[in-house]
């Protein structure tokens, strides 16, 4: 009977867990046997690093994810209409750009702004910091891929990528996704400010001359909404429909307010006058679980160590046992249960060689530790207990006096 039940549930449990399986970890090298997704944390079971630390070719998945993000959104804006490729179809794959006036200068980008004017696209990329330019095969391409995973978590947009949501949680999440698609989500446009001024003038009903002084003068200032510095004459700027076309950004200034990273592929979330990446917009709206990294749509959750947690996810990072009501220790910002702590992290007493309990009193000197008990922290010469006494440490031994030291080390 049990076997039958499992054969029904197993395929569901592994939903979405096949992607990236077996990929080598770039950080742990051969210490990781290959990527294997933890059943609810978004990390590798073998080495505990994230998917982006593993050598996964993410392009098709990325494009699917971003395509889905823009599904059901309306890009009726003026600029979108001008686009030859027409969003929301997402062109996020490799582009090789050869500029007609610069022979031999053909460069492949993992992404470039989808504008018809290739010079503008290339100039936009040149205005980014060198280590963030999405040139294929460079650290900039790796940076973009990592930011893609970090800024736009799939589990912030797709309930099927979340772990065991209740029907009520699924409903709340769908409402949340609908809300940000209606109110916040957008993608930047790259234009010359002069071009934009022209487009705006045309839009304002006919001739530039007849538009009246006001909108024209507002566009004259051309200073960046992020750094307030002026735009350079003839250089491309980033515009965001949600923010209004009276605002513009230097390409390198189109960043998330919280993490200050370049908004990946210019995908932004606009809220109360600020730009956010998807992750930090989510954080501004909902608590995020420190265990599974998903936004929390349940009314019940717990706060511990300055983070929020699904009740079932405040678990030991090593063995996944639930920690509610248990003693735990924070190691590298991860909660660890007492048995795992004693086994894997606890310092050993230099005298009795057993682990020192996290709650036990201890004496520490440089890298040496002892139970704070007379039978452990004692003179190596005369065995006198040294708690609260003067002592000296020589070659890993503790002594009460020079005399005792001479007895042992001569
Ligand atoms: Zn790893
Ligand atoms: Zn791994
Ligand atoms: Zn700026
Ligand atoms: Zn951010
Ligand atoms: Zn969780
Ligand atoms: Zn544990
Ligand atoms: Zn001891
Ligand atoms: Zn002594």
Q: How confident is the model at residue 343 (pLDDT cuts 50, 70, 90)?
A: very high
Residue 5 has pLDDT above 50, yes or no: no
Per the domain annotation, does 140 fall within a domain?
yes
Nearest-ligand number for the alpha carbon of 152: 4
Domains: count for the chain: 3
CA of 23 from ligand 1 middle (Å) equals: 10
Angstrom distance (rounded) from CA 81 to CA 85: 9
Query: Cα(36) to centroid of ligand 1, in Å?
Result: 11
C-alpha–C-alpha distance, residues 216 and 198, integer Å? 9
- What average pLDDT is seen over the chain? 83
Instruction: List the domain range (segments joined by +) for residue 372.
Output: 361-409
Any idea which ligand is nearest the CA of 328? 6
At residue 375 the predicted structure's pLDDT band, cuts being 50, 70 and 90, is very high
Does the residue 268 lie in any domain?
yes
CA of 106 to the centre of ligand 4 (A): 32
Ligand closest to the CA atom of residue 267? 4
Q: What is the CATH number of the domain that holds 383?
A: 2.10.110.10
| pLDDT average, residue stretch 268-283 | 97
Least confident of 194-198, 239-243, 282-286, 339-343: 194-198
Given 285, 320, 340, which residue is the final one in a domain?
Answer: 285
Q: Distance between CA atoms of 285 and 113, rounded to whole angstroms?
A: 29
Distance 144 CA to ligand 2 centre (A): 20
Rounded Cα gap, residues 157 and 142, in angstroms: 23
In this structure, is residue 182 part of a structural domain? yes
SS3 (DSSP) at 367: coil
Structural domain contains residue 326: no
Q: Over the stretch 8-57, which tens digit does the pLDDT of each residue have?
A: 333 333 334 466 788 899 899 899 999 888 888 889 989 999 887 888 76
- Among 260, 285, 310, the domain-final residue is 285
Confidence of residue 205 (pLDDT cuts 50, 70, 90): low
**143 to 140, 247, 340: CA distances (angstroms):** 5, 27, 34
Residue reference for tokens 């006001």: 214
| C-alpha 314 – ligand 4 centre gap (Å) | 24
Distance of CA 24 from the midpoint of ligand 1 (Å) = 8
Task: Put residue 275 in one of left, alpha, beta given phi > 0 → left and psi -120 to 50 → alpha.
Answer: beta
Q: How far is the CA of 313 from the centre of ligand 5 (A)?
A: 5
Ligand nearest to the CA of 390: 8
* pLDDT tens for each residue of 150-182: 999 999 999 999 988 999 999 999 999 999 999
Identify the band that residue 363 occupies on the pLDDT scale cut at 50, 70 and 90. Answer: very high
Ligand nearest the Cα atom of residue 345: 6
Residues 15, 157 within the same domain: no
Confidence of residue 253 (pLDDT cuts 50, 70, 90): very high
Identify the weakest region by mean pLDDT among 75-89, 363-377, 394-408: 75-89
Q: How far is the CA of 266 from the centre of ligand 3 (A)?
A: 15
pLDDT of residue 201: 82
Strand partners, 330: 335
Residue among 266, 69, 89, 91 at smallest CA distance from 158: 69
Domain shared by 182 and 52, yes or no: no
**How far, in Å, from the CA of 38 to the mean position of ligand 6?**
15
Burial of 377 (0-12, 13-18, 19+ CB in 10 A): buried
| % of the chain surpassing 70 pLDDT | 83
Closest CA to 78 of 303, 233, 245, 211: 245
């Amino acid at each position: 009977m049990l076997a039958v039940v499992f054969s029904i549930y197993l395929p569901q449990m592994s939903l979405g867990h096949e992607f990236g399986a077996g990929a080598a970890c770039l950080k742990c090298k051969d210490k990781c046997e290959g990527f294997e997704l933890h059943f609810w944390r978004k990390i590798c079971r073998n080495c505990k690093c994230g998917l982006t630390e593993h050598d996964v070719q993410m392009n098709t998945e990325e494009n699917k994810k971003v395509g889905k993000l823009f599904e059901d959104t309306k890009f009726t804006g003026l600029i979108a209409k001008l686009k030859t490729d027409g969003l929301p179809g997402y062109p996020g794959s490799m582009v090789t750009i050869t500029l007609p006036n610069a022979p031999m200068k053909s460069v492949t980008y993992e992404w470039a702004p989808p504008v018809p004017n290739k010079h503008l696209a290339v100039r936009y990329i040149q205005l980014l910091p060198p280590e963030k330019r999405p040139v294929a095969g460079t650290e900039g391409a790796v940076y973009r891929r990592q930011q893609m995973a970090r800024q736009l978590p799939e589990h912030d947009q797709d309930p099927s990528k979340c772990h065991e949501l209740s029907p009520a949680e699924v409903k709340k999440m769908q409402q949340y996704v609908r809300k940000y698609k209606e109110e916040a989500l957008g993608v930047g446009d790259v234009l010359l400010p002069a071009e934009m001024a022209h487009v705006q003038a045309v839009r304002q009903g006919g001739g530039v001359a007849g538009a009246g002084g006001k909108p024209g003068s507002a566009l004259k200032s051309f200073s960046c909404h992020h750094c307030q510095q002026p735009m350079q004459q003839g250089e491309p700027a980033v515009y965001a429909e949600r923010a209004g076309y009276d605002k513009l950004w230097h390409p390198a200034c189109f960043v998330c307010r919280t993490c200050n990273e370049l908004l990946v592929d210019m995908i932004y979330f606009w809220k109360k006058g600020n730009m956010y990446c998807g992750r930090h917009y989510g954080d501004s709206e909902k608590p995020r679980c420190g265990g599974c990294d998903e936004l929390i749509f349940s009314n019940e959750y717990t706060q511990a160590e300055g983070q929020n947690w699904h009740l079932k996810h405040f678990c030991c990072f090593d063995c996944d046992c639930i920690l509610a009501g248990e003693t735990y220790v924070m190691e590298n910002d991860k909660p660890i249960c007492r048995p795992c702590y004693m086994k894997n992290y606890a310092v050993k007493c230099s005298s009795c060689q057993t682990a020192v309990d996290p709650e036990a009193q201890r004496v520490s000197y440089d890298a040496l530790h002892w139970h704070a008990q007379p039978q452990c922290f004692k003179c190596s010469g005369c065995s006198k207990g040294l708690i609260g006494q003067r002592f000296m440490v020589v070659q890993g031994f503790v002594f009460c006096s020079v005399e005792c030291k001479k007895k042992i080390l001569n």
